[in-house]
Structure 1
Amino acid sequence: MLRFSIIFILNIVCASFMWANDTFLFQAEKEGDKIKIFGTLHDLPLQALPPAIMDYIQNHEVLITENTQALEPLTLNICEKMGLLRNSEEPNYYDCLIEAEKEELEAYAIPFLKHKQATNLGLDQLNTNGLYQAYLMGHFVTGMDYALLHHYKNHKLILGLEDLQEISQSFEQLTIHDLKCELYNHAGFGSEEHKRSENLYLSGDIPALEENDLMVQRRNLDWLPTLLNYHRQYGEKAIVCVGYQHLFGEFGILRLLEEAGYKIMRANQAIEFSDFSSFL
């Protein structure tokens, strides 16, 4: 009994310590208008978030996300628009993989296609971009972004900052060699660097981002007008939930909002906001 009590107390202490720092909930304020922004980590489960954050998100009527594609079935027509299908002149890239590569791909891509109700779509129909995107998204179907969308789809108005075509255009065209390298390295998932990133997120540390991530920069710049337009429509009824690495850096959403005249505040676990502008 004593041993159980000690373990129980240690679990409480460890859980409290894990979220001892400030959260990734931010507020951008300008002339009395407030935009609430929460940074997610795509592959972590929703249960990793502090209950206060979940309560805070729940209290908003409108959820603004990177996109709403998680809620939509993946059809052949959509895949064609996104440029994910191989044409008749291309080889069957799936057959170009060795058995170990196929197993790694299938472990994530097949559950993703099933999740997306893509019953008429086989891996042999996809080009290298299609295979990689299915593989990558397969890591996220149990993560907090998908969970937020599915949890609130019948309770909130859900809006996206980009459409499916814009998502796909963010990916550079991969060669079969690139795809094989990604599969061999498990796209970085499970690596020491990835584990360290998860721990840093849970401890509230700001990531050190490479400023030459052109894909993130381009998406952030494209998102900003849409984000501000949504805010004009819905005001404080809305909360923005996007990957937390989109928030920081020279072209991060927080910096872009600050340059537009907004004061940036950061929330702690008690949802008390304090000035964050000096960090930016």
Structure 2
Amino acid sequence: MKTVIVGCGEVGLAYAEKALQLSSAPHLELLDPAPASAAVAFADGRGLSLHRETGQWLSGAELVLLATPGGALQPVLDSLLPHLPAGAVIADLSTASADAKRDAASRCAQTSARYVDIAITGSVAVSRAATPLLYAGETIPELLDLFRELGAPVTVLDDSRPGDAMRVKLLRSVLMKGLEALAVECLPAARAYGVLDQLWAALKDVDRTGFTNLLQAMTRTHPRHAARREHEVAQAAEQLEQIGCPSAMTRATEQRFAVTRAAADSSVPADDTTDAAIDWITATRSNAL
């Protein structure tokens, strides 16, 4: 299978390197209009063609992996689509927005190219080609097989269309990056108080519960317990501030609980389920606007 990797930065080269190690390695060519010296050395050292521009050489391409900056998606497609054969698969691993990816899928359909939205959900610098992926759009078995051969855990989003992988990735980031920000606010304070090891031990119940189960339980109980939790978070912020540690994330959490507590004075969710809590939060947010 003739495979073209567009964009020879860290992501593109990680996939190229692993692809060449496969027992059934694809016929691989690279495309980058301004390759860095590392990309040139990589291609030269492995006898790969590193193209600076599109052209007739793309006519036999069966699979194109886009590892370009998100903002470059439209001009990259402008350059690629006139040269790709009908039925070519474009797997877009870029960080383009969900709307941009949706537009890209429509453009590809007009030329009979098959477009799939792929979102990278980890650090390629750490995991290389084995970094987890989200997959949205048409199920293309040969593409899924390739990613699995590369060692990448692929989560195929059910009933999805292009753009959904990036949308889910960014929603996931609300949780994961928010948690990271809370961690870097909390952990230095734990060390300053001399209880970092004890904090790690106290968090083991989260491991036993499971992360998604914990999130659902917190959301389900949030409306009815917001007042008590608001008070507890205020105490936690004061404890940080007593030793001069930042507390911005914790104070923002306190404010979120205060909003819920005020809304819960007038109503509570219809029943004790996560979906009911989400519906209630959505409704009270709308009423507050």
Q: Same fold (TM over 0.5)?
A: no
TM-score calculated relative to the size of structure 1: 0.24
Query: Larger radius of gyration, structure 1 or 2?
Result: 2
| Larger helix proportion of the pair | 2
- With the length of structure 2 as denominator, give the TM-score of the two structures: 0.23
Greater relative CO (CA pairs within 8 A, separation 6+): 1
